[in-house]
Amino acid sequence: MTTMLEVVDIHAGYGAMPVLAGVGFSVFGGETLALLGRNGVGKSTLMRTLIGLLPPSRGDIRMDGEPIAGLPPHRIARRGMAFVPQGRGIFGKLTVRENLLVGARAAGAEAAGPEEVFQYFPVLKERLGDRAGTLSGGQQQMLAIARALCGRPKVLLLDEPSEGIQPNIVQEIARLIRRIVESAGMAVLLVEQNLDLALQVADRCMVMEKGRIVHEGAPDDFRDETVLRSYLAI
């Protein structure tokens, strides 16, 4: 398997406050790696560091073998990383079509057209001319993922895609994530509080605690009550 994302000894924080304290892991093409952990342990900080919103103070990040640590977000996007932030981050006053075009243009010449993502999200084709703010919460999350896919990413970062979404839509998003990974062969890093969703879609899971990766294993390992109590306070 090809290593699409490699993170080595990453340290990062905000001013004098350190958050990440030597994070390291790899994600392979065609794989979904779920990052679990309690609130405030550094998961979102890691995502911001990977996409270039927060420069690391130490360590190395490589995507498809090329160093990207410290690059600005637009250059990282052009190299093939896409980010779906917590809260979706769609442009509510723009139409669905315009949101998709933003995703395509951000990634540059190799971007996919909107038609390519409709195979996963046919409902968006029906709403192309509507303002994104009029979509339901589930449809907005689909739009956020579709916008990221318009860049034909090598690595897709998903931060809490189930947040604020009805359970039946969460299941649909889980099926879509699996289908996207299988058909596109990209690497997916998923941050998710919904353990059921994470275990459904992940090939591997890891737990973060106090800015470090403290446990890693197969999804079945995380169905063990001892593991859940030890690392996730469940």
The rounded radius of gyration (Å) of the Cα atoms in the chain is: 17
Least confident of 40-44, 91-95, 106-110: 106-110
Residues above pLDDT 70, as percent of the chain: 93
Distance CA 106, CA 122 (A): 22
Helix axes 137-149, 96-107, angle to 10 degrees: 30
pTM for the model stands at 0.92
Architecture in CATH of 3-80+153-232? 3-Layer(aba) Sandwich (3.40)
Name the segment(s) of the chain with CATH classification 3.40.50.300.
3-80+153-232
3-state secondary structure of 95: strand
Taking residues 94-122, report their average pLDDT: 79
Task: List, in order, residues 6 or more apart from 218 with CB less than 8 Å away.
Answer: 204, 205
Residue 70, token pair as written in the block = 């410290």
Reported as a pLDDT band with limits 50, 70 and 90, residue 112 is low
